[in-house]
């Protein structure tokens, strides 16, 4: 790659400037923004050289001193936290910077507890990264509600604390969310008991949540609403082409938001017309790629900036141009629903819509199970309630009105 940044850097970081320039361009930064970031690094390298700062033993307080010195000198151009953050991570991966970990204080015992808990459920329980984050979040919320973070004492936990927390959760959240919290707390209390932090296994004190399968209909959009949602994507512009591709994947193939976010350029087999879906529990499935979805993806990818090495299909709008997380895809769906005036709902509602449309077009429950990639037919059974064609064929004639 041609070196044309024209930014002079002296000091310990000077030898990394060309590699950093290439890294910034590869991640979608414009040449102008990349030069501004290099100027920030030039200032840091020069300041560190004058003050004897070792970038192999860098402390977060050194950066605070750097910013304070620049503000006192009146040099604020091109110097901000975001400018440095964009460069410090690649410099760290290149070996130019090594951080000194802050001293562990008594207050960090709370954080160490949940770091150990996350490792336990990831390795020993085998849950996914997203599930582990959710379990940790619920555990933190529980302890923060009953104990001062700075001096918490796990031996004081009792069954009343557990039941009180679940009752409050059930009043604020849905049955499904409360059940998730119950499962997470049982795992957390079992972990605490195994470590010896609690004298009793409080997982047996977590109450069950009443909720019956098949008691409600899956919420979905009607065909007219889906058509309205897709037509609202202005495909004259790149954002509309992106939204159209995302919505097609979710309403036609029933992809989850996390599965859309994980889609990579390597997952599309254009020659065979297939798409690899990286689903839950590290499961990979292959689905046929319908022509309209393939055309939408091709249109979206034609807007891709040349030279970006990121393999994700859907990239963030601003640099660094990395792939979307699950929340980013959900925000795209939320914006589309708001724009069309449709009732709000999470992105999973589009997955229910895909299943419902398959049935209303004459498909079977086996077809739904195949498209949605259900491991068990019990999961697909809930859609039997919306299969009106099949239900009409088994309904008995009402004889109450006959004489």
Q: Which residues are catalytic?
A: 256, 280, 348, 351, 374, 383
The answer to whether the CB of 107 falls within 8 A of the CB of 150 is yes
The answer to whether the CB of 67 falls within 8 A of the CB of 74 is no
Q: Which helix (H) or strand (E) holds 268?
A: strand 268-269
From 78, 67, 85, select the one nearest 32 (Cα to Cα): 78
Work out the burial of residue 224: count CB atoms within 10 Å of its CB; fewer than 13 is exposed, 13-18 middle, 19 or more buried.
Answer: exposed
The whole-angstrom separation of Cα 370 and Cα 353 is 15
From 109, 25, 12, select the one nearest 58 (Cα to Cα): 12
Q: In what order do the strands lie in the sheet with 274-278?
A: 268-269, 274-278, 284-288
Count Cα neighbours of 125 within 13 Å in the Cβ-side half-sphere. 20
From 255, 257, 222, 229, select the one nearest 337 (Cα to Cα): 229
């Amino acid at each position: 790659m041609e070196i044309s940044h024209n930014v002079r850097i002296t000091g310990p970081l000077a030898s990394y400037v060309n590699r950093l320039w290439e890294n910034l361009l590869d991640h979608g930064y414009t040449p102008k923004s990349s030069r501004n970031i290099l100027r920030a690094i030039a200032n840091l390298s020069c300041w560190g050289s004058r003050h004897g700062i070792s970038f192999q033993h860098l402390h977060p307080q050194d950066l605070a001193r750097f910013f304070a010195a620049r503000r006192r000198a009146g040099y604020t151009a091109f110097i901000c936290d975001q400018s440095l953050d964009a460069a410090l991570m690649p410099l760290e991966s290149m070996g130019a910077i090594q951080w000194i970990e802050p001293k562990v204080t008594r207050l960090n015992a709370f954080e160490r507890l949940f770091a150990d808990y996350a490792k336990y459920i990831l390795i020993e329980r085998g849950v996914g990264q997203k599930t582990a984050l959710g379990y940790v979040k619920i555990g933190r919320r529980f302890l923060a509600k009953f104990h001062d973070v700075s001096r918490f004492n796990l031996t004081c936990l009792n069954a009343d604390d557990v039941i009180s927390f679940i009752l409050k959760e059930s009043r604020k959240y849905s049955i499904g969310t409360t059940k998730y919290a119950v499962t997470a707390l049982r795992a957390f209390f079992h972990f605490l008991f195994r470590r010896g932090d609690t004298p009793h296994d409080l997982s047996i004190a977590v109450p069950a949540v009443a909720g019956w399968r098949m008691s409600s209909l899956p919420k979905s959009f009607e065909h007219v609403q889906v058509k309205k949602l897709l037509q609202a994507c202005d495909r004259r512009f790149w954002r509309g082409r992106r939204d159209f591709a995302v919505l097609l994947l979710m309403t036609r193939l029933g992809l989850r938001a996390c599965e859309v976010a994980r889609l990579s350029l390597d997952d599309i087999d254009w020659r065979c017309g297939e798409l690899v879906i990286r689903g839950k529990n590290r499961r990979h499935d292959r689905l046929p790629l319908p022509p309209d979805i393939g055309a939408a993806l091709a249109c979206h990818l034609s807007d891709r900036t040349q030279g970006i090495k990121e393999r994700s299909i859907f990239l963030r709008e601003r640099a660094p141009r990395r792939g979307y997380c699950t929340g980013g895809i959900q925000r795209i769906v939320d914006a589309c629903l708001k724009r069309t005036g449709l009732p709000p709902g999470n992105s999973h509602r589009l997955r229910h819509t895909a299943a419902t449309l398959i049935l209303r077009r004459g498909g079977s429950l086996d077809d739904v199970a195949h498209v949605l990639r259900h491991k068990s037919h019990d999961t697909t059974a809930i859609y039997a309630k919306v299969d009106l064609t099949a239900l009409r064929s088994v309904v008995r004639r009402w004889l109450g009105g006959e004489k």
